[in-house]
Amino acid sequence: MRRLFPVTDQTSADRSDRPWSPDELAEAYAYPELGPDGHWLRANMVSTLDGAAQHDGRSQPISSETDMQIFGTLRALADVIVVGAETVRQEGYRPARARQAFAERRSASGQGPAAAIAVITASMDLDFSLPLFTSPLVPTLVLTGAAAPAERVAEATGAGAQVVIAGDGAVVDPVRVVRELAARGLRRQLTEGGPRLLGQFVAADVLDELCLTISPMLTAGDAQRIAGGPSVTVPHRLAAAGVLEEAGFLFTSYRRI
Ligand X SMILES: NC(=O)c1ccc[n+]([C@@H]2O[C@H](COP(=O)([O-])OP(=O)(O)OC[C@H]3O[C@@H](n4cnc5c(N)ncnc54)[C@H](OP(=O)(O)O)[C@@H]3O)[C@@H](O)[C@H]2O)c1
Catalog residues that contact ligand X under the rule CB under 6 A.
45-46, 53-54, 57-59, 84-87, 90-91, 120-123, 125, 171-172, 192-197, 200, 224, 226, 228
**Smallest distance, ligand X to C-beta of residue 164, A:** 12
Least separation in angstroms between CB 90 and ligand X: 4
Cite the beta strand spans of the chain per DSSP E: 2-5, 40-48, 80-84, 116-120, 141-144, 162-165, 188-191, 209-215, 238-246, 249-256
Query: Rounded distance, CA 183 to CA 105, Å?
Result: 23
- In the complex with ligand X, which residue's Cβ is closer, 90 or 134? 90
Q: Which is nearer to ligand X, 14 or 46 (CB)?
A: 46
- Return the amino acid letter for 185: G
Nearer to ligand X, 11 or 173 (CB): 173
Residues in a beta bridge with 243: 5, 252
**Under DSSP, is residue 238 helix (H, G, I), strand (E, B) or coil?**
strand
Cα angle value 172/54/83 (rounded, 5°): 25
DSSP letters along 198-209, please? HHHHHHTT---E
User: Considering beta carbons, is residue 112 or 228 the nearer one to ligand X?
Assistant: 228
In the bound complex, what is the minimum distance in angstroms from residue 75's beta carbon to ligand X? 13
Closest-by-Cβ residue to ligand X is 194
- Least separation in angstroms between residue 44's CB and ligand X is 7
Nearer to ligand X, 76 or 172 (CB): 172
Cβ 94 to ligand X, closest distance in Å? 14
CA–CA gap between residue 235 and residue 238 (Å, rounded): 10
